[in-house]
Structure 1
């Protein structure tokens, strides 16, 4: 579905008082749509409530700021969009995750939100703390790394391995106009497996010690 209308068929009725969970979900959908239509900087709690068809007191019942709502929307959408099927081929598993991550960050409203929040977090400690606590990309990336680890004896600890895997994708999108190409993503996956593969354990330990 096109951004801005992706949730419309499933929206709760705007008549009557919606159930609490329905209202909460309507708010999460509203921030997705507003992010595409007006952008993060123009988003307000009043506008979110109006778009969701709920009262402002309902919004403030769960969240204290628009950034907090966006973080939750990111977590929810990332769990859906970044779950890739298990694959016996470790290279295929890494490639699938990298492509899903790129699609999430470039085509999903919650991915747009995540990029905006990462930028905001560079000068707003509260937003940065929310992102750290939410660990938006962590669960899906950890799941992929856990499946690859038996084939990659030199893989470093999960936090560092996740940074090595996802860092180039994020850096490209935050500093360049275009994402990495599928070919570049494939080469990145192949290079990581070579660096993490059998015979590289000593190099990995040395790098961890120096860092």
Structure 2
């Protein structure tokens, strides 16, 4: 069966309307009160259409949140890794502090703790791609001499972004720009202080066995 361009456009409009409806309802009702029925009614699509594309409400929310996150927090490159990291982390903090995105992500995290399939989807669709993009941004900075050659880039990503999600999950106050600036400066200093020479063998002082392979 060949799908016509008009059918593809209708499908994309329906998909976009569904994602928008899910986020709108999350703002209005709170994550737990949003249902597939409500999303379908708001989007003007059938429940059958939603279940053809997503396995559940949380599947809709995950795609909606991921698309917004990727759109508003790109990994830009101005030539100043510290400035770029500050801009990126501040963008992430603002997103998680703004309804419906913060509540939607909290709902997703809550459900993934007792749903292994969802946990896998979160890792594959959201966490791993963003983690790899952050490592790649640091790698380019490393090539430009802004990050030491022997620095553990995956660990650096965890040090930079861990505090953001820690505060979000525990519902602590979000970082302000001064706190983010201090975090970025501290992590970059730690990379310079702790990085062994690029050609240092495994087991030498300052090099952790298996460095660079943080899961």
User: What TM-score bracket applies, with the shorter chain setting the length?
Assistant: 0.7 to 0.9
Shift of 1:143: 4.7
The match for 1:190 among 180, 185, 188 is 185
* CA distance in 1: counterparts of 2:11 and 2:169, whole angstroms: 36
The match for 1:134 among 125, 139, 142 is 125
Change (3 A) 1:199 1:167: closer
Shift of 1:112: 3.1
The match for 1:106 among 97, 102, 111 is 97
> Quick check: 1:93–1:144 contact (8 Å CA) kept in 2?
no
* CA distance in 1: counterparts of 2:210 and 2:87, whole angstroms: 27
> Quick check: 1:40–1:116 contact (8 Å CA) kept in 2?
yes
* CA distance in 1: counterparts of 2:91 and 2:210, whole angstroms: 28
Report matched runs for 1:26-41 at 5 Å: 26-41=17-32
Supply the RMSD in Å over aligned alpha carbons: 2.4
Moved over 6 A (4+): none
TM-score in terms of structure 2 length: 0.79
Match of 2:158 in 1: 163
* CA distance in 2: counterparts of 1:204 and 1:148, whole angstroms: 21
TM-score in terms of structure 1 length: 0.80
For these two proteins, the number of residue pairs brought into alignment is 192
Query: How big is each residue's C-alpha offset from its partner over 1:161-189, in whole Å with a ceiling of 9 and x where there is no partner?
Result: 32221110110121143101211110100
In the alignment, structure 2 segments of 5+ residues that lack a partner are 1-8, 198-204
Shift of 1:56: 1.2
Structure with bigger gyration radius: 2
Query: How big is each residue's C-alpha offset from its partner over 1:32-62, in whole Å with a ceiling of 9 and x where there is no partner?
Result: 1011111221111111100111111111110
